[in-house]
């Protein structure tokens, strides 16, 4: 069972470079999410997509853009990477319903030099 | 703004002990509360979800309780094993408030070490 798949798993960028993090889920879930996890800060929501064709900002959207390409795929783009964006990025998905749990991928570890 | 606190930040216990992890939240208007497990270098795995109308949920050696009025939840692990070593996070989902309705607010986690 694949669940939520994130690529790449690791990436090192230089300041100012751009990059797209990919996420795909095979559970036919409507909602998808991007989080970042930083030491001492916990997980913070960057963007989410409640359904195909919609996206909304979360708690920390600055410096990021997202695309809900289809029901399966939700990508996160850094247009001009900054050292402050060094983090572990997690994608998650969730089925319809008030009390459905979120399912997470294994993360992308991103370092900006 | 909803804040979620988990105390202690780290806990070390000998194998076989029963233990309790704590989670508190400031806004009681929640849909549900989830407990997750995170292994090093891995994503989060959902352990238990308690709906706001429920008092507890059980799965195997795990039991989670919810006291919404006091803003507290506990995760009880019975007969702990070295394989239980991980970081445990709780997260709450607020009732519908427009754009915030789909968001989870996470605690920073409790890192559990079970010593053989």
Burial class, B76, CB count within 10 angstroms (exposed 0-12 / middle 13-18 / buried 19+):
middle
The pLDDT score that the predictor gives to residue A59 is 87
Which residue of A10, A102, A103 to mutate against B (max B Cβ within 10 Å)? A102
B100 pLDDT above the threshold of 60: no
Report the candidate in B93, B9, B83, B7 with the shortest Cα–Cα distance to residue B50. B93
What local confidence, expressed as pLDDT, does residue A53 receive? 87
Instruction: State yes or no: pLDDT of B101 exceeds 80.
Output: no
User: Cβ-count burial of A75 within 10 angstroms (0-12 exposed, 13-18 middle, 19+ buried)?
Assistant: middle
Residues 6+ apart with CB under 8 A from A28: A71, A95
Other Cβ atoms within 10 Å of A102 Cβ, number: 24
pLDDT of residue A1: 64
For an interface test with B, give the residue of A47, A101, A104, A105 to mutate (most B CBs within 10 A).
A101
Per-10-residue mean pLDDT of chain A, 113 residues long, equals 90 96 96 92 90 89 95 96 97 86 94 96
Residues of chain B with C-beta less than 8 angstroms from the C-beta of A45: 103-104
From chain B, which residues contact A within 8 Å (Cβ)?
4, 31-32, 34, 36, 41-46, 49, 51, 89, 91, 99, 102-104, 106-109
Q: What is the pLDDT of residue A45?
A: 92
pLDDT of residue A101: 87
Please give the pLDDT value at position B76.
97
Q: A46 and chain B: CB distance < 8 Å anywhere?
A: no
- Which of B99, B104, B108 faces A102 most closely, judged by CB atoms? B104
Q: How far apart are CA B83 and CA B12, in angstroms?
A: 13
Q: Tell me the pLDDT tens digit for each residue of B29-75.
A: 888 999 999 998 889 999 999 999 999 999 999 999 999 999 999 99
Distance CA B6, CA A10 (A): 29
In this prediction, residue A38 carries a pLDDT of 94
Could you give the 3-state DSSP secondary structure of residue B101?
A: helix
- CB-based contact, A98 to chain B, within 8 Å: yes
Write down the mean pLDDT value for chain B.
91
Could B104 and A45 be called an inter-chain contact, meaning their C-beta atoms sit closer than 8 Å? Answer: yes
In whole angstroms, what is the distance from residue A95 CA to residue A71 CA? 12
At A96 the pLDDT is 82
Does residue A69 sit at the B interface (CB-CB below 8 Å)? no
Of A56, A90, A103, Cβ closest to residue B46: A103
């Amino acid at each position: 069972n694949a669940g939520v798949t994130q690529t790449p798993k690791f990436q090192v960028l230089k300041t100012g470079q751009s990059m797209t993090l990919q996420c795909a889920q095979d559970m036919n879930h409507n909602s998808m999410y991007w989080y970042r996890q930083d030491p001492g800060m916990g997980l913070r929501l960057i963007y989410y997509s409640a359904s195909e064709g919609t996206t909304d900002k979360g708690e920390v959207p600055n410096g990021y853009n997202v695309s809900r390409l289809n029901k399966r795929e939700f990508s996160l783009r850094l247009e001009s990477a900054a050292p402050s964006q060094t983090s572990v990025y997690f994608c998650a998905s969730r089925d319809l319903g008030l009390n459905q749990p979120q399912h997470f991928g294994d993360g992308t570890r991103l370092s900006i030099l | 703004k909803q804040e979620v606190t988990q105390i202690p930040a780290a806990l070390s216990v000998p194998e076989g002990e029963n233990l309790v992890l704590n989670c508190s939240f400031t806004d009681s208007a929640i849909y549900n509360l989830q407990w997750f497990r995170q292994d090093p270098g891995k994503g989060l795995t959902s352990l238990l979800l308690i709906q706001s109308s429920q008092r507890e949920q059980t799965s195997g050696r795990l039991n989670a309780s919810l006291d919404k009025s006091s803003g507290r939840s506990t995760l009880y692990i019975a007969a702990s094993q070295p394989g239980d070593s991980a970081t445990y996070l709780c997260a709450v989902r607020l009732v519908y408030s427009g754009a915030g309705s789909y968001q989870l607010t996470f605690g920073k986690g409790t890192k559990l070490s079970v010593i053989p």
